A and B are shown apart, each in its own frame.
Chain A
Amino acid sequence: DTGVSQNPRHKITKRGQNVTFRCDPISEHNRLYWYRQTLGQGPEFLTYFQNEAQLEKSRLLSDRFSAERPKGSFSTLEIQRTEQGDSAMYLCASSLILPGTEAFFGQGTRLTVV
């Protein structure tokens, strides 16, 4: 297993367009997290899944954002009607359920909204 994989690595889109990012977690990991990181800040939690169930969503996640993990494996994060304020690095992480286990992060998808 090569770790957590995110695609695309970079995305430039025009304001108002929809974008979708994909995350492939480590295969045996049942937890999958999405974070957003803006310049000079730490990652901010967006949402997480345990298998296919979405267990928590941050208040940061407006109704323009939707995440899915249909078969409990890969996940997608869609942003509709993008705004310039959505420009950020979107990070995905996966882990086992056991407390204290390491969350492995992907390299992220950098979104630029112009």
Chain B
Amino acid sequence: GEDVEQSLFLSVREGDSSVINCTYTDSSSTYLYWYKQEPGAGLQLLTYIFSNMDMKQDQRLTVLLNKKDKHLSLRIADTQTGDSAIYFCAEITYNTDKLIFGTGTRLQVFP
């Protein structure tokens, strides 16, 4: 079945690292994505990882994938106030061509 879950809220101090977690249930996931949504804006793709990878790094972003536990995480190094937003993980599986989104994690960065 299709179910993607995230913790609802994360608060971090500016300059610290943020880690946003996501769990999914469909073992046939092929690609897993992280999207960012700022207030009043659409969804912006941050990064994605193919299911045969376990890590991907892109500047301040590090994605870790544990297929055994069906767990995905997004680490943001040196978090800035501009990183405050809602972060969604999403998956695409072998069975479907549509993105299935999690409920989103609201990241709040304070000075």
Contacts and interface: CB of A to CB of B under 8 A. Distances in A.
B10 interface: no
Contacts, number: 56
Interface stretch (B11-19, B70-78, B91-99): B91-99
A15 to B, nearest CB: 25
Contacts of A21: none
A42 B102 CA distance: 6
Interface string A1-41: 00010000000000000000000000000010101000011
Interface of A: 4, 31, 33, 35, 40-45, 48, 55-56, 91, 93, 99-100, 102-108
9 contacts: A40-B103, A41-B103, A42-B88, A42-B90, A42-B104, A43-B101, A45-B98, A45-B100, A56-B98
